[in-house]
Structure 1
C-alpha cells in the first residue's frame, strides 16, 4: 500500500445515512476472486440514477467521500472497501461508521475520519456548492482542514502506524522474515513445516 501521511483532494458528498455494505457494493459483485478491480461495482444500483453524485462529470477524480451517519453498516465484506479504494477514494468522512467497515478500511489503506455531525454537514454543504472544493487530511497530526477550518480526529494507534508506513498485516509479517527463518531452522523436525517452494 502507499503510505498515507498528508492527503489533499477534491470531495464528493453522499448525504445518505445508514449506508450499508450491500449498497456500497451489491452482493453479486462479491463473487469475483480478486482484491482489486471493483470500481465498476461501487454503488452500482444507485449509479443507475443519472443524478447520483458519482455520475457528475465535475466530480470525477474526487478522492474524499463525505458521507453521513452510520456509514458502512451491515455485512463484513471487504469488497466494500476495495470498491471505494478502486474508485479512487483515499478518505471517507462521516459522523459514525460500522465497526467492521472501519477496521476493514484501515487495513486496506482507506482512512476513515469520524467528525461531529455538524462538521460533516458543513463539509457536505461546501462540497455540494463547489466541485473544486478541497479537503486536506493530515494523518501525522490527526487533523482535517478545509476552507480555513480544522477538525481534530482520532485513529487507533496501530492502524495509524500502518497507514503512515504503507503497511498491511502481511507486510509487517514479512518484515520479520529473517527471524522467522532462524526460528524455523531450530524447530524439531517432527513438527509440521510450510513448503516454501509453494510461496
Structure 2
C-alpha cells in the first residue's frame, strides 16, 4: 500500500447521494482475479455519457472525489475500492460513507473524509474551477480561497495511511517481535517445534 500524507489537485465535483458499489463498479467486473484495469469499469454506466466528469479533460486523473451522503452503500464488494484506486482516486470527501466501503477504502489506502454538507457544497463550488488540497497529517482540507475544513480520523487509520501499512505491512513491521517470540518459544517449549507424533 502506498503511503498517503496529502492529496492535491483537481477534485471531481460528483456530489451524488446514495451512490452504491454497483454504480462504482458494476457486477460484471467482479469476475476478474486481478485489481489491474478495474479503473476502466469505475462508474461505467455514468461514463457511457460522453460528457461525464470522470473522462473530461478537466477532471480526468483527479486524485480527489467529492461525493454526496451515504457514498459506497450497497454490497460489500472490495472491487469498489480497487476500481477507485485504479482510476487514480486517493481520497473521497463526503458527508457520510457506508461503513463497509469506508473499511475497504482504508485497507486499500484510500482516505475517506467526512465533512458537513455545507463544507461539501463549498468544495463542490471550488472544484469547478480550482484545485483542492487535503493534508492528512494536519487533518485539514483547504482551498486557494482560504477555506479550511478540519476533519476527524481514527488515529490508527491515520498512522496506517501515512506509513503505507496494510494488514501485511502491519504484520511485517512486527517481524522482530514475532521472531523473538518464536525463538523464546522454541527454547522454553521445545516439544512444540518437533511436530505432532501420530497416535
- Could you state the TM-score of these two structures normalised by the residue count of structure 1? 0.89
* SS of the residue 1:103 aligns to: helix
* SS of the residue 1:52 aligns to: coil
Of the three residues 151, 172, 175, the one matched with 1:174 is 172
Of the three residues 131, 134, 140, the one matched with 1:134 is 131
**How many equivalent residue pairs?**
189
- What does residue 69 of structure 1 align with? 69
The answer as to whether partners of 2:7 and 2:64 remain within 8 angstroms in 1 is no
Give ranges in structure 1 of 5+ residues lacking alignment. Answer: 193-199
What do the CA deviations read for 1:112-171 (whole angstroms, capped 9, x no partner)? Answer: 11100011011112223x1xx111111111111112100010111111000011111101
Moved over 3 A (4+): 181-185, 189-192
Rounded to whole Å, the distance in 2 between the matches of 1:7 and 1:90 is 7
The answer as to whether partners of 2:20 and 2:74 remain within 8 angstroms in 1 is yes
- Could you state the TM-score of these two structures normalised by the residue count of structure 2? 0.89
The CA RMSD over aligned residues, in Å, is 1.6
More deviation, 94-103/175-184: 175-184
Cα drift, residue 190 of structure 1: 6.0
Rounded to whole Å, the distance in 2 between the matches of 1:177 and 1:55 is 43
Give ranges in structure 2 of 5+ residues lacking alignment. Answer: none
Q: Which has the larger radius of gyration?
A: 2
Say if 1:46 and 1:191 are closer, same or farther in 2 by CA, change over 3 A.
farther
